[in-house]
Structure 1
């Protein structure tokens, strides 16, 4: 088994995936807020 060296692993894909997740979560939160505002304005 190879020795583990802290900080040597390539995490490029992990960073891209996390950035995508944050972008998706931001869109979902924004759309949810807009939907709630729309519902409040139309007395739904």
Structure 2
């Protein structure tokens, strides 16, 4: 692993995509080499 890769991994999470439809917000977050969907209003 390079130093640059190591420093980039220190980010806890980042928002990849977000949309809102009929008042429901859907977000896709990347966190430690995995992705998760979050739903809210």
Name the TM tier (shorter chain): under 0.3
TM norm structure 2: 0.24
Which structure: greater helix fraction? Answer: 1
TM norm structure 1: 0.23
When Rg is computed on C-alpha atoms for both structures, the one with the higher figure is 1
